[in-house]
Structure 1
Amino acid sequence: MSLNVVNLVGRAGRDPEVRYFESGTVLCTLTIAVNRRSSRTDEPDWFNLKFWGKTAEIAANYVKKGSLIGIQGSLEIETWTDRNTGTNRSSPVVHVDRLDLLGSKRDNDPSLVGNYSGGDDEF
């Protein structure tokens, strides 16, 4: 038996980037910053996320930089050859199956997002 499930809760590191393909498929990418439970530093771990289809549309419409989200998906190591050097490269990416919008109304109000103070217990 094998299992590849990733569950993360954190804040979007940037606004989503959306691509629409001629086939009608939608791809949304963004990063998420996740604080460690017992970290001696204030630095979060960063994860690259990919959303497809309806989930991508929801992420594109409702997630903004700083939004608190929860995701469930699977980890994939994407590999490619660097065009400039010919070197094989790789990067871990979470392919998201489920998106939960966890922020409050305050988080989604553009007039209040700019006032976010970034306390120690939050990103």
Structure 2
Amino acid sequence: MNKVILHGRLVKDPDIRYTTTGKCVASFTVAVNRQFAREGEPKADYIPCVAWEKLAQLIADNMVKGKEILVEGRMQVRSYDAQDGSKRYVTEVILSGMDFCGSKGDRGNAPAGNTGGFAGEPVDDYSIPF
């Protein structure tokens, strides 16, 4: 099974492009804090992500540098030949879904009514029927 779930913040604004057939592609990097970092080690990992079509457009319209995001997808490794003749490898997460995180004010211009996957007022645990 190849499944990746990441929670972090965008390092910079998403790079939005369109293919020759008109499909939207969003490329961006998510900074994910390491839970346990040793002295001298980086405290975060920077993971490249790619979204396609409707998901890419949603990200383009709503996400900017510093916004908190939860992404789900699959890890993909691809290779290409560089101009100098060397072979280069790229590892990235291809998104199948995402969710907004953080407070409403933190989401900036996120669509009205989107509450990051939750709807309505919070309820206490004792009023849930299961």
TM-score, normalization: structure 1? Answer: 0.81
Distance in 2, matches of 1:109 and 1:74, equals 28
Alignment of 1:101-120 (within 5 A): 101-109=100-108
Distance in 1, matches of 2:91 and 2:103, equals 30
Partner of 1:118 in structure 2? none
User: 1:37-88: per-residue Cα shift (whole Å, max 9, x none)?
Assistant: 12235621010000001000000011110000000000011211111x1000
Q: Percent identity?
A: 31
Q: Whose relative contact order is higher, 1 or 2, with alpha carbons under 8 Å and at least 6 apart?
A: 1
Gaps of 5+ in 2: 110-130
Number of residue equivalences: 107
User: 1:91-117: per-residue Cα shift (whole Å, max 9, x none)?
Assistant: 21100110111121221349xxxxxxx
Distance in 1, matches of 2:95 and 2:101, equals 16
Alignment of 1:11-90 (within 5 A): 11-40=9-38, 41=41, 43-83=43-83, 85-90=84-89
TM-score, normalization: structure 2? Answer: 0.77
Q: CA RMSD in A?
A: 1.5
Gaps of 5+ in 1: 111-123
